[in-house]
Amino acid sequence: MTEYLSLKKSNCKNCYKCIRHCPVKSIRFTDDRAYIVEDECILCGECYVVCPQDAKEIRNDLPSAKRLVAENSFVAASIAPSFVANYGISVEALADALKKLGFALTEETALGATQVKRRYEEMTREEGRKIIISSCCHSVNLLIRKYYPEAISCLADVTSPMLAHAKDIKSRNPGAKVIFIGPCISKKSEADEYQGIVDCALTFEELSAWLDEAGIELKHDEKIAADAKTKARLFPTSGGILRTMDCDTPGWSYLTIDGTENCREALDDIVAGKLDKCFIEMSACRGSCVNGPIMEKKRHTPVSGTVAVYNYAGREDFDVNQPSAADMKKAHTRYEIRRNYPGEAKIREILQQMGKTSPADELNCGTCGYPTCRDKAIAVYQGKANISMCLPFLKEKAESFSDTIINNTPNGIIVLNESLEVEQVNRAALELLKIRAAADVLGEPVVRILDPKIFLDVLTTGKPVRGERTFLAEYNKYVEQTITYDKSYQVIICILRDVTAEEDERLKKEELSRHTVEITDKVIEKQMRVVQEIASLLGETTAETKIALTRLKESLNDE
């Protein structure tokens, strides 16, 4: 499969949001970055929509479209009916803009939708039909062809409105090239798969970029009028296909299902044989095409977009020539997805590596993106996920690692909340402060074990205390304390280093030095007297001797 969606490696921030939202889990994580598994992807665009870092990008077909217009005399634009929700203008206003880009013809894809809906009506009246699933949404088609091959026979073997309209344009304009423009990523894939019908598929974003580059502004109509014969414009809304159809075949039910997860649930029922005589309109996007992945969100919301489509749609069908059933036939082939599955022993081994040693440990919280821990273990085996993607596992590992460090450090650690209550205390602090057990002080005011003034000062000023030595009289301990206030976590952290032995050693040295100085002082005085006596007998000065002895005394004092 051609790479329709790719990753901007520098933007991917290892958040796993894409895999959580991917309905078929077609995303692989390598080096903590997301990569789309192309042969498993259904091109619903959900990962593109939800990515908070804009790390996914869609294949840019604008250069191809420009070449088609430049190299061909007749290029037609087939505009998806959701255009009115995206741009808020009439097809005539859009056609004026596209004419300036070089398009010879602009028509609504809704013309092809009219042909498709008529074929759907015929199918419900044909003998042998039990379940018919609309085939307009290529993402739904890919979902069935890849993940529900048993339901392929239920998928309407009818060309999509995009392909039907392109065929119709080319039948009326020999030699024409057709560029489809819509809100979908999967239409690029459909155009490539069915060669020679649609020559290029653009998104609304690509068209907007082209118009901006050419300096063409869209002219908004004062009032967008709806023609009577434009009912197929309803196709991009939820239930829009059924609103255009005559849903009157006796014994048949008609359902609308949108959103890939809902589609999967319906397909599970179909495969299980729980439905019969049922026509199902399926769309991968919640709200259908007006909420497509490439609808420009800055312009309209799905609700206002739906209203815009309703207001622009008529009550009757377009005037179109209806092709034969054979001309509208489209085969749906099965996609083979080859994946290795682990045995039970391997699954248990991977679960144990994730810290899931028993079924009770399998929380199935879904934060990794997979519905169950077992599904995650299978993804790990298949090389699509990492062990570290398990949030509870990482949390427990981090807490265990943190507890190991805190409980084995020789320094006492006390954590207080902003009410100066003890929230955490380690083993070293318990021993230092002679506390029997942590339960004796947890939740209690710090005043029970320490003077709260310094903690209150740090909390009030926000200024930390670093390496300050103090004597804890009640514990007969000297400590070097570091206290800091973490505003983000709203806690005060106190680290106490027992320096009693150091202080005792320092005091011993001070006492020894003091004693030495006293002895030296006495010696100096005695020597001075002797020197003075000798000097007086010799008639010499004692100044130099006195200076030397004084310096000796000062040196001893310094020590």
| DSSP tag of 202 | E
Q: Is 460 exposed, middle or buried (0-12, 13-18, 19+ CB in 10 A)?
A: exposed
- Of 475, 476, 525, 466, which is closest to residue 504 (Cα–Cα)? 476
Q: What are phi and psi for residue 230, nearest 5 degrees?
A: -140, 30
Instruction: Name residue 207's beta-bridge partners.
Output: none
Q: How far is CA 143 from CA 137, 286, 333, in A?
A: 10, 15, 12
Strands (E), 160-275: 177-182, 200-203, 253-258
Amino acid identity at 55:
A
Instruction: Name residue 308's beta-bridge partners.
Output: none
Q: CA-CA distance, 362 to 345, in Å (whole number)?
A: 16
Q: Please, are residues 312 and 233 in contact by the beta-carbon 8 Å criterion?
A: yes
Residue corresponding to tokens 């949390």 = 395
Q: What is the pLDDT of residues 136-157, one digit of tens each?
A: 999 999 999 999 999 999 999 9
pTM for the whole structure: 0.74
Provide the pLDDT for residue 186: 96
Burial 311-329 (b: 16+ CB within 10 A, else e): ebbbeebbebeebeeeebe
Q: Please count the other Cβ atoms lying within 10 Å of the Cβ belonging to residue 202.
A: 24
- Of 309, 300, 261, which is closest to residue 46 (Cα–Cα)? 261
Q: Please, are residues 82 and 236 in contact by the beta-carbon 8 Å criterion?
A: yes
Instruction: Name residue 28's beta-bridge partners.
Output: 35
Q: At what angle do helices 260-271 and 138-147 cross, to 10 degrees?
A: 40
Q: What stretches of 245-355 show up as alpha helix (H) in DSSP?
A: 260-271, 302-312, 344-353
Pairing of strands 33-36, 27-30: antiparallel
| DSSP tag of 158 | B
pLDDT profile of the chain (559 residues), mean per 10: 76 82 90 86 93 89 97 97 94 96 97 97 91 97 97 96 98 97 96 96 97 94 83 96 95 96 96 95 96 82 91 94 95 88 90 84 80 88 81 67 79 94 93 92 94 94 93 92 92 93 81 72 73 63 60 62
Let me know how many helices (H) and strands (E) the chain has, helices first.
20, 16
Pairing of strands 477-486, 491-498: antiparallel
Q: What is the pLDDT of residues 436-492, one digit of tens each?
A: 999 999 999 999 999 999 999 999 999 999 999 999 998 999 999 999 999 988 999
- One-letter-per-residue 3-state SS of 293-323: CCCCCCCCCHHHHHHHHHHHCCCCCCCCCCC
* Both tokens assigned to 540: 């010499």
Q: CA-CA distance, 21 to 327, in Å (whole number)?
A: 38
* Both tokens assigned to 48: 């593109």
* Both tokens assigned to 480: 């070097």
Q: CA-CA distance, 112 to 479, in Å (whole number)?
A: 84
Estimate to the nearest angstrom the gap between the alpha carbon of 540 and the chain centroid: 94
- One-letter-per-residue 3-state SS of 62-108: HHHHHHHHHHCCCEEEEECCCHHHHHCCCHHHHHHHHHHHCCCEEEE
Q: Please, are residues 224 and 311 in contact by the beta-carbon 8 Å criterion?
A: yes
Provide the pLDDT for residue 55: 84
- Of 265, 240, 267, which is closest to residue 254 (Cα–Cα)? 240
Residue corresponding to tokens 């967008």 = 224
* Both tokens assigned to 254: 């008609």
Q: Please, are residues 111 and 168 in contact by the beta-carbon 8 Å criterion?
A: yes
Provide the pLDDT for residue 340: 85
Provide the pLDDT for residue 11: 75
- Of 475, 506, 487, 458, which is closest to residue 412 (Cα–Cα)? 475
Provide the pLDDT for residue 1: 46
Burial 436-453 (b: 16+ CB within 10 A, else e): eeeeebeeeebeebbeee
Task: For the chain, report the end-to-end CA distance as a whole number of angstroms.
Answer: 82
| DSSP tag of 438 | G
Provide the pLDDT for residue 385: 83
Amino acid identity at 324:
S
Q: CA-CA distance, 47 to 61, in Å (whole number)?
A: 20
Instruction: Name residue 471's beta-bridge partners.
Output: 478
